[in-house]
Structure 1
Amino acid sequence: MKKWKRLLFGLLAAATVFGSVPLSGENEAWAAYKNMNDNEFISVEKITATKTGQVANITFKFTNTGDYDLENVKVGFSSYDVDFLDDSETLESNFQFPFEITMGMFDEENMKELGTVKAGKSKNVTLSARVRRDIKEGYYCFPVRAFGDNFDMADEYVNIWVSVATSTDEEDDEETGDLDMVLGEGQSTPDGTYPNVMNFDVNMRNASTFTAYDVVASLEMSEDDTKYPFEINDVNYDRRFEKVEPGETVALNYSMAIREDTYSGYYPIKTIIKYRDNSTHTGEYLQIERTFYVRIHNKEEEDDLGEFNENDRTQARIIVDSFETIPAEIVAGDEFELVLRMKNASSNIPASNILFSLESEKADESAVFTTETGSSSYTVNSLGAGEVTELRIRMKSRPGVDQRSYSLTINETYDSPEFKNATNKVVVDIPVKQIPRLSIGTIEVMPENITVGGETNVMFPVNNTGKVTLYNVTASFAGDSIVPSESYVGNIEPGQTGNVDAMVRGAAATMDDGKIQITVSYEDENGEVSSVEKEMTLFVSEEMPVDYGEIDAGNTTDVEAEQGFFARHKTGVILAAVLAAGGAGLIVYRKYKRKKMQQAEEEAIDDEIS
C-alpha cells in the first residue's frame, strides 16, 4: 500500500514539474506587427502604447469607404481564433491575443454602437481591455469585427505597443483605481476651416465600474502652432463635472478660433482628466490622460522649394527688349497687332514655365486695349539667359477714348532655378490718336448784295465735334468779286464752339453765280495744318451813276436861283440817306447776331452742365 502511495505521489510531482515548463507554441504570447494597409475600414492615427497588466484604451477610426451609408454599425473585439492566430503571409510571426479574455468580451451587446456612418465619413472608436501580464515587450495586433444592417466587415487588425510594467507602474495603476474615460466614442472627427470659429463637442464616457467625482477635463495647450491649432483666447479651458457615473457620457463643448498660421491636417489634442474616487470630495486628485483628434482646413504646408523672394537677386530678369504696333499709328477704335520682344536680361540664370498676362489701363472703368481672342495670357516654355522671344497679339483699341498714351502692363510669373512662382511686371505705353472733327453751322451774310467797295458781314459757328483740341482756327474768304480776307478764331476745345465774325469787301462786280470760297483751317498738337472748305453766295454790283437830266446852259443862273438846296441836290441827299440807313441797319443787325450767337453758346453750355 505504501509503495502505491509513493508511486502516486511521484507521478503527481513529475506531472507538476513537467506542467511548469512552457511548450513551444503554447501558452506563450509572441509579439507580432500587422501591416494595416490591408485594412479597408479601420485606420489608426497613432499606435496606442500600453503596459502589461494595465487597462489599454485603444482608439482607432472607422471609415465608410463605400458609396452608400452604413446603418446601425457596431464595432468590437473579434473572437476569431484568438487562442492562436497563424497567418504566415501577412504576419511577421505567430502571435497570441494580447488581452485578458473576460466574460462577454466578444458578445454583441458589449460592442460599440456607431449608428449610421455616412459614405466617405469616419467615426472614432475606443476599445478597452486589460493587457496580459505574461507577454513580452513588443508590438501586438488584435482582430476587430464590425457589422451593420447592410454590411458585414471581414476581420481587420489594430496594432499596439506593449512594454513590461515595473512595480512602480503597478502601484500607479492601483492608485488610479483603473478609471477608464473614453473620448469621442461614436463621433465624427471635429472638422474646422480657417477663419471660421470651430464649435464642437467631444463625448467623454466613463467606461469604468465606479463613479468618478470632481471630474476636471483640461486641454494640454501649446504656443507651437504645429502642435496646437487653436488660438489661446481664454484663461481657462477646464470642463468640470461633479460626478460621472459608470457608463455615463458627458459632453466637453468648445468654441475655438483656428490659428492663421496653422496648416491643414489632423491634430492630436491631449486631454488631462483629473478626478477623485470618493464621494466625500476629499483627498488628492488622481489623473489620467486621453487624446482626441481634430481636423483643420487652412493653408497647405510649404515644400522645401519655398516661394519666391523678390529681394533675392539670383532670379532671372525678363524685360521688354522692344515693341512695335502694326500699323504704327493707332486710331481709337481700330484693330492692330502688338509685337512684343521679351528678353531674359540675366547673364547666366534661365527662366522656365513663363506666363505673361496682359493688363490694360482703364478709362471710365473699361479697358482701353482688348485682345481679339479674349484671352490675355500667353506662355513660354523656357527662356535662356540673354535669349529673346517674340509675342504677336491681335488687339483692338476702344473708340471714344481721349488722345494720349495708355499703359499696357505685362505681368510675369516664372520659375527660377532656386525659386518657384517668381513674379515681376513691366509696362509699355501705346499712343492712341483721335481724328479731329469739326462742323460748320449756318452761314449768314448780311446783306447778300453789295456794291463795289461796299462791305457785308459774314457770321457762322465752328463746332469741335472731335476728341482733340483744334488749334489756331482761321476762316479765309476768297473770290473774284471780293477782297481776300481772313478772320482768326483761335483754339477750340473738344465739345466747344468758336464763332467767325468777318467783314467782306466787294472788289468787282459779280460775273458768275456769286459763289465765295470759305476755307476753315486748323492745326493739331504737332502743328500740322488741315482745312475744311465751304461756300457762300454774295453778289457785288457796280455803283449806279446819278442822272441829273438836261439843263439849259443859258438858264443855269435862273434855274439855280429859282430852285432851293433840296431841289438842287435831291438825288445826292436821297442816296446819302439810303446809304446811312443801310449802314445803321447793318450795325444793328451785327449787334443782334452777336447777341443771338452768344445766347446760343450759353444755352449749349447750360445743356452740357445739366
Structure 2
Amino acid sequence: MKRKMSKWIKRSMAFVLAGMIAMSGAGVWVMQAQAVSSNDVEGPAPTDSQMDTAKSDIATYANNLIVSRNLTGKDKQKILDMLDEARYKIGHDYNHANGYAEMQSYVANVRSMMDAVVAAIPSSTSDFLTLADTYLTPSVKYGQAVTIVLPVINYSPTELSDVMVRAKVSNLVSEWPFEPTSAGMTRSILSFPPYDNTKSMETVRQDVSFNFVVRSDVKTGYYPLVFEVTYTRNGNVEKAEITTYVKTTGKPESGTLDGDSEEDKAESSKPRIIVTGFETVPAQVYAGETFTVTIHVQNTSKSASVTNVLFDMQAKEEGKDEDSKFAAFLPTSGSSSVYVDSIAPGASKDLVIEMSAKSDLSQKPYVLDVNMKYDAKEAVDLTDTASVSIPIYQEQRCETGDAEVTPADITVGGQSNIMFDVYNTGKTTLYNVWVKFEGDSISGGDSFLGTISSGATGSVDAMVTGAAATMDDGKIRAVISYENESGAISTVEKELELFVSEEFMGDFSDPSMGMEGEMGMEELEGSGGIKPFILPIVLVSVVVLIAAIIIIVRIRKKKKEKAELAADLEALDETDR
C-alpha cells in the first residue's frame, strides 16, 4: 500500500513538473512572438490634410520649374502630365498602413523626374540683349492699369539699329495676364549703342515701356512675359527674345496658374493659329512702291481643325493727331481680308496680299497686324492677333551745287582751290560722306564731310595739286561716296574742269631784264659769251611758247563748246520727236 502511494505521488509530481515545463515553454514562445511583432510594426496611413499638402507641394514645385525656365510646348506638357499623375496617385494609392512614408518617397521621385526634363532643355537664344540688374519683378492685381518698363542693355560690341520690341500676346488667360489687345504691343528703338562701362547704367540702358490692363479673370501666380526682338546688326537682320516675369493677384474664384480647373483644361484645348514667318517681293520694300507680302500661318492644334478662318491685315496708323494719322500700307485691291475655308491640325497656309507703301514713309520697320477670326468644333468666333514688322527703305539722294575752281589753270606743282556744296535731298541720313578727286593731272584734295542729315548741306573746300600736264580736255572728277544705315556704299560723280601745264623753266624776273623783259644792251655787249644777235632769238622763242599755250587752251575750249552744242542739239531733236 505504501509502495502504491509512493508510485502515485511520483507520477503526480512528474505530471506537475511536465506541466510547469510546458507552461514555461509556452511562455517563452509567447514572449518570442511578442518580440517579433514589436519589430514588425507598420507606419500610419496619410491623413487627408497630409495628402492635400503633398499635392500642393508638388504643384508648387512644378509651377516654379515652368515659370523659372519659361517652359513651353512639349516640355511644359511633360511637367503637367507628371503633375496630374502624381495628384491622382497621392489621393488613391497610399491610403493604407505605412502609406505616408511611401507617399513621401514617391513625391521625391516625381521631383527628380521633373528635374530630369528641365535638365535636357537648351539655354536661351539671346546672347547679348538682357535686362539691367535694376529690374524688379512687378506685382499687379486684376483690373489694374500698369506700365511694364524693360531696362534693356546691349552688350554687343556694335551698335544696333531699327530695333523692334514686340510683346508676345496670347488670348489664353493661362499664358498672358493682360487684356489681349493689339494696340501698343510694339516699341521701336532707332539706334541702340553698345554698352560702355565708363558710363552710368542709366545712360547706357534703353527703357522700353508698355502699358497694359490686367485681365479681370487673371490667375494668381507668376506669369512669364516674352518679348520678341528684331534688330539690324552689321547690316544683318537678327532676332532674339527677352523674358521677364510679373506677379499677379487674381480673384479667389479665378484660381491659380496650376491649371487644374475644368475651365482651364477646356481653354487650353482650343486650337490656336500662329504666324510662323513672312517674306516680301521685292525683298527690300521702298516707300511709294507696290509689293506682295506672303504670310505663313499654322494651326498649332494636333487634333482639331479650324474652319471659316478670316484673316484681316491692318497696318498700324502713323501720325501724332487724328487729322494726320494714316495707314503705312494699303491693299491695292481695296480689300485687306483673306478667307480660308479650313486648316487641318498642324497644317500651314500662305496668305498672299498685294499692298502699297505710302511714298512719305520714314525709313524704319512698320507693323502689320494679322487679325484672325475662326471656328473650332463647338467653339465659334474665336479670335487671335499676330503681327509682322516690314522694314521700309527710302532711296538715298545726293546732289551737288555749282563748283568754283580757282584758278582754273595751274602748272605742275601748283595748287587750285575747289569749292562746292553737297545736298542731302532724300529722307534718310547720309553717313561717312567722303569727297575724293580723280584725274591723271591732279593729286590730293580728299575731304571727309561726316554725316549729313536729311535736308542738310555739307560744304567741300579742298586744295588739289597739279601732278602732270593735262593731255586731254581738262576734265577731272569729284567722287562723293556715302553709306546708309546698313553700311552699304553709294557714289555720285561730279565733273570739273582744271588745266595743268608744264612749269616754265626760264626766270623772267631777273633784275638784269628791262621793263620789256629785254636784257640791257650794255651787258650783252660787255659779256664775252653772248652776242647781240642772240637777244631777238630769245624774245621770239618766248613769244612763240606763250602763243602756243594760248592756242592750245583756246582749241580745247572750242572743242568743249562744240561738244556741248552737239549734245544740246541732240537733246532738242529727241524732244521734237
User: What TM-score do the two structures reach when normalised by structure 1?
Assistant: 0.39
Larger helix fraction of residues:
2
User: What TM-score do the two structures reach when normalised by structure 2?
Assistant: 0.41
Task: Flag the structure with larger Rg.
Answer: 1
Larger strand fraction of residues:
1
